[in-house]
A = this chain, B = another copy of it.
């Protein structure tokens, strides 16, 4: 199901051996470069880092956006894979939180995941919907399991779960040199996800202060 092989989109051509290797290395390097330099990194830098010519990059990915999209799809597929693994290994009660921690712990990855999802724009969404659906299914299972176990508020749904994950990535980027603050920020989100008797509409829990 997960076509992790290097078959191009029209995938009927076997592709020569060196081409396969270059394509795989390009994806690897592009992910790393986009991760640390941001999506604005130049194609030339990626080519240099991967030790190939610029033409090779554009031969495999006709445009920079296509490369970005391929990297994003790879990441989404991998995340879905890890989500399924956690579902089995950790059990439905803890799997969702474990998945959150897993995503947020990948420090060099944080930026890329959020940036890609944010910067890529709308056009990419269409092409990533294939991989995106797989991830969304996994998230649905994770959320459902956690809700059945009673550890996550029942009014939560998948769309906001995704947004919360991305937003928390962004949040932690701003706390890079402050591990204590990062830990507390994560605790805030984690506790917010719990079934916290949150009044669904009321603005505040009517604290003891009366002034």
Contact = CB atoms under 8 A, between A and B. Distances in A.
Nearest to A176: B163
A204 interface: yes
Number of copies: 2
A209 B151 contact: yes
B97 A203 contact: yes
A27 to B, nearest CB: 25
Contacts of A170: 114, 118, 166-167, 170-171
A181 B168 contact: no
A192 B157 CA distance: 17
Nearest to A158: B181
Given A97-B203, A170-B118, A204-B93, A160 B189 contact: no
28 contacts: A92-B209, A92-B211, A93-B204, A93-B207, A97-B204, A114-B170, A149-B208, A149-B211, A150-B207, A151-B204, A155-B184, A155-B187, A156-B184, A156-B188, A157-B181, A159-B181, A160-B181, A160-B184, A162-B174, A163-B175, A164-B171, A167-B171, A167-B174, A170-B171, A187-B192, A192-B192, A192-B193, A194-B196
B93 A209 contact: yes
Contacts of A114: 170
* Majority DSSP secondary structure for residues of A touching B: helix
A140 B29 CA distance: 43
Question: How many of chain A's residues touch chain B, expressed as a range?
Answer: 35 or more
Nearest to A101: B203
A172 interface: yes
A198 interface: yes
Nearest to A148: B209
A178 B207 contact: no
Contact of A192 (B94, B149, B190, B205): B190
